[in-house]
Amino acid sequence: MEIIKIILPVILVSLVAIFTINIVKKKSNNDSAKEKEKEENFMSEGMAIGMCLGTAVGIAFDKDNLAIGMSIGMLLGMVVGMNYKK
């Protein structure tokens, strides 16, 4: 059980990094008029990814830290997402 607590966050971070790179590559290639009218940063994507990572870290440390990990992960993901332009 302890090995899962160690490996789970590493696997999740790896998958999210690969997923994020693919999204950014697809979004940078699409330059249609509809894409330009939408929001100009990745805030919502960052929030979702941050919540997933915060949940994984909260579970890895202890189940009592789940809410704190999720909220801090969401905040950090939102900040990172706001800094990347579409």
pLDDT tens-digit readout, 45-74 = 888 888 888 888 888 887 777 888 888 888
User: pLDDT category, 1, cuts 50, 70, 90?
Assistant: confident
Q: Above 50 in pLDDT, residue 33? A: no
Structural domain total, the chain: 1
User: pLDDT category, 39, cuts 50, 70, 90?
Assistant: low
Q: Which domain holds residue 49?
A: 2-83
Residue 37 has what pLDDT?
Answer: 56
Distance CA 83, CA 86 (A): 10
Q: Can you state the angle between helices 2-29 and 43-61, rounded to 10 degrees?
A: 170
